[in-house]
Chains A and B, each alone.
Chain A
Amino acid sequence: MTTQSQTNFSHLIGAVLRYTVLGIGLSVTLLPFVYVILSSLKTPSEIIQIPPTFFPKVPTWQNFTTIFNDPKVPLGLFFFNSSFVAMARVGVTLFTSSLAGYIFARYEFGGKGVMFAVIMAQIMIPFQMIMIPLYLILVKLQLIDTLWGLIIPAMIDAFGIFMMRQFIEGIPRELIDAGRIDGASEFQIYRSLILPQLSAPLATLGIFTFMATWNDYLWPLIVITTHERRTLPLLLTWYSSSHGSRPSLTMAASVIVLLPIILIYILFQRQIVANAATSGFK
């Protein structure tokens, strides 16, 4: 009887401890998000006041309206820049990855093994090693300071090809044979028989490509020089350094940049978290 209640008691202690740790982790994780949102709702004078407040005394949208009405910050344009680059990279990556993945999964031809090895070697090449010559190549191609300069060097994703090949190998060959008997061309088989089967892995690859592109900073920093062509992360650093004396504006700008990605995360959270462990996303 005593041992019974003792084990119950130690179970209870264990549970309390576990949830305390989880709760602390939760508040540490969420606190910076809460802090940036609350700070973005403070007046410019409240955010620098000493001692500082945590909750805004009178929440105000004025930082957001200041940014929205700033003629030097046409937000629509910067959202377009970021979205255009992200969408283009998603579209191209999904197309090349599925097509090449299909070829590697279902076709036999000379040099296949070598070609696959060449593509997989891309995973091992760190971007920092090739970024200087890549910049010089873009200068030659006159793609510096264009949005295309952010898209064209990223059209082949080795990991995407690998992922698609793995998936397509699981699709029964009979499906392809049936298409051939019906007289479909090879591209038609890819287009109307293979592609529709790939919606799940394509969605995963698409989400990861989108997020990586949306948050990309180093390469845009190198390529883009004109203010109007900046992507959102570039806009954010420029904005914070040119409004250093008004941190409430920087906080509001951060919220504006964070919101879309957080929305996407909330929508696709299951898929993102489940696949992060198996894919090489980082």
Chain B
Amino acid sequence: MASPGSLRRSQRRFAFSVMTPIMIYLMIFSLLPMIWAVILGFFDYSPARVGGTIFGLGESNPFVGIRNYLDMFNDSQPATVFRKSVSNTFLFTFLILPLNLAITLPLAIIIERSHARVKGFFRAVYFLPTVTSAVAVALIWGAIYNPQAGLLNSMIRTIGMTPPKAWLSDPQAFVMGIPLAMIALIVAHLWQDFGYNLVIFIAALQGIPQNLRDAAMVDGANEQQMFWYVTLPLLQPTLLFVCVMTILSSLQMFILAQVMTAGGPREQTTTMLMSIYSNAFRYQNMGWAAAMSMVLFGIIMLFTILQFRFLRSDWEY
């Protein structure tokens, strides 16, 4: 057997021989793009133009300071679309969050109380949409919303009501000030996404010790009191986690809107990520797009930090 010293040396050599390539890899594919993204935001950069020697920056891709950020507030068409996409993204997020919770939390409580065999079955079926391709989901819901031959309108007609002219393309259609196309997207998004939070809630509910419920029961608590004074406080860390995860994923909404409405009608469903994507890769305006992506990054970071601050909870049971 080798001496302890040489053994330790060979271990260290092994650790470094594994970690060195990983660190180099992360420098190229993670650290470099991060720094580059920050820098790009300060340049008027397009890969279509010939630039300087370092990353194609400079010369015909000039440094513009914070002009990209200032331009976000002017009246030009790209800036207007961008601001529209920011407000759309927030509207999406803060409509999706309460609706998602209103569906998943009660449903989780109902499932958790069901018979074990039934529980597994419902959980499995409800989770199915989350694993399916979002592109396929978008196409299926697009067909459901089809004004002439779609499933939804034929159902509405069957019960004797008049369906809207078009779910996804009528710029004049609003419900309580919210574009109809956005509502249609939110419904499709909720359908695809709710299983995820549902499963998390069920797991959290199962983690609540029975003796706490028994104690409340002995004290004469009814079902409602049990929910508000026992279940909900104990679910608080989970609830916070679910809220943040739902916010983060809604802020990055892309596929459904891209495929179902392409951001229309009249940019009513353009999200931030769609705006970044089309400016960067369709219009080749990457400096401007990078600046926009920094704004989205800032918003995402804010919610991530919130989560880390509050998730260090002291719940102990």
Which residues of chain A have a CB within 8 Å of any CB of chain B? 18, 21-22, 25-26, 28-33, 35-36, 39, 47-52, 54, 96, 99-100, 103, 107, 109, 112, 115, 118-119, 122, 124-126, 128-137, 139, 152-153, 155-156, 180-181, 183, 185-187, 211, 214-215, 217-218, 221-222, 232-233, 236-237, 240, 247, 250-251, 254, 257-258, 261-262, 264-265, 269-270, 272-273, 276-278, 281-282
Contact = CB atoms under 8 A, between A and B. Distances in A.
Contact of A217 (B125, B134, B191, B203): B134
16 contacts: A18-B114, A22-B111, A25-B126, A29-B129, A51-B154, A52-B149, A129-B294, A132-B280, A132-B289, A136-B47, A136-B56, A156-B30, A217-B133, A218-B277, A273-B123, A273-B127
Interface of B: 1, 7, 10-12, 14-16, 18-19, 22-23, 25-26, 28-30, 32-34, 36-37, 40, 47, 55-56, 106-107, 110-111, 113-114, 118, 120, 122-137, 139-141, 143-144, 146, 148-151, 154, 157, 191, 195-196, 199-200, 202-204, 245, 248-249, 252, 254-255, 259, 273, 276-277, 280-281, 286, 289-290, 293-294, 296-297, 300-301, 304
Contacts of B106: 21
B12 to A, nearest CB: 5
Given A139-B47, A156-B25, A236-B139, A276 B148 contact: no
A276 B19 contact: no
Contact of A261 (B133, B146, B204): B133
A237 B259 contact: yes
Given A103-B18, A137-B32, 5 more contacts: A22-B111, A129-B37, A132-B293, A217-B135, A233-B134
A163 B214 CA distance: 35
Contact of A282 (B154, B196, B294): B196
Given A132-B290, A237-B135, A257-B133, A52 B151 contact: yes
Nearest to B107: A25
A160 to B, nearest CB: 12
| Secondary structure call for the A interface | helix
B124 A273 contact: yes
Contacts of A122: 26, 30
A121 B23 CA distance: 13
A214 B1 CA distance: 48
Given A22-B110, A237-B259, A261-B132, A137 B28 contact: yes
Contacts of A18: 110, 113-114
